[in-house]
Structure 1
Amino acid sequence: MDIRQLTDDFAVSPQIDVAHMKEIAGAGFRSLLCNRPDGEEMGQTDYSAIEDAAAQEGLEIRWIPIVSGMVTQEAMSEFTAALDEMPKPILAYCRSGTRCTMLWSIAQYGRLDDQEIVSRAAKAGYDMGPLIQQLSNR
């Protein structure tokens, strides 16, 4: 698995599988947050299978599917609520981890310093500089 830590309480990962649940729970995660719609790619594990496996490991899980590049205000509100309400630490996943990092960055905008958001994302391998610049230009 390729888990990338953004904070002590939040990490992102590319697509996970049912076989990863013991490893995720063993790493101390208490919640999973799926930001990937079902059927986005051939061979992708459906959310319902992940949900069942997560429940068997005692993990809380939420599904906030985001079509790449199509973030709605409603989805953003649900994502922010999940960050605030779910037991921590949280592991969020999508196809590559980029979408989850983008959502986290938007949720943190105005809460954390812009440079800290960009720096944390960069340490995890994601470039959120253009996103933060776009948010700053609004």
Structure 2
Amino acid sequence: MSLFLLPVDDRVSVSGQLKPEDMNELAAAGFTAVVNNRPDGEAFFGQPKTADLRTAAQSAGLKFLDLPFSGPRATPDQVRAFADLLAAGDEKVVAFCKSGMRSALLWGAASLANGRSIDEVVQGARSAGQELVGVAELMVGLAQAARS
């Protein structure tokens, strides 16, 4: 696989920006869903439009969730949507943003909402090169709000 994916657990990987042409490769590798955490227009050039990513993902047979946010400002609704995707079955998921950090944060909060421990989340992200200790309190708060 030519894509640079960072596994945070056995079903979820995070990544920097994906392109429409990556979707067939993801499907061929066994992924079933793509989660976009990057808002349109964040980069002046080189960033594909969400609509193009969605079309390519769906054409490749992948589910596509559009859950964009800037900085660490995810919402409880976004956490709930990601948690629901993870709880729904055995989806193999790639979540992406610019660097993978926002995606790791959202995965972490969704995992907490689904009952994982903060230690499991921090270790999973760390194994993917993403450090979440500094946003642990934020993730816990988001997870609690998502469960409400």
| TM-score, normalised via structure 1 length | 0.88
Q: Contact 1:60–1:87 (CA<8 Å) still a contact in 2?
A: no
Please give the secondary structure, in 2, of the residue aligned with 1:11. strand
- Between 1:74-83 and 1:64-73, the stretch displaced more is 74-83
Please give the secondary structure, in 2, of the residue aligned with 1:33. strand
Q: Contact 1:60–1:86 (CA<8 Å) still a contact in 2?
A: no
Unaligned runs of 5+ in 2: 142-148
Residue 2 of structure 1: CA displacement? Answer: 1.1
**Residue 144 of structure 2 aligns with which residue?**
none
Q: Quote the RMSD (CA, aligned, Å).
A: 2.2
**Residue 128 of structure 2 aligns with which residue?**
124
Q: Contact 2:8–2:124 (CA<8 Å) still a contact in 1?
A: yes
The question of 1:109 aligning with 2:118 is answered no
**Residue 86 of structure 2 aligns with which residue?**
83
Paired with 1:119 and 1:125, the residues of 2 have a C-alpha distance of: 10
Please give the secondary structure, in 1, of the residue aligned with 2:48. coil
Change (3 A) 1:20 1:136: closer
Q: Contact 1:31–1:87 (CA<8 Å) still a contact in 2?
A: no
Unaligned runs of 5+ in 1: none
Q: Contact 2:105–2:139 (CA<8 Å) still a contact in 1?
A: no
Displaced runs of 4+ in structure 1, greater than 3 A?
A: 133-137
Counting matched residue pairs gives: 138
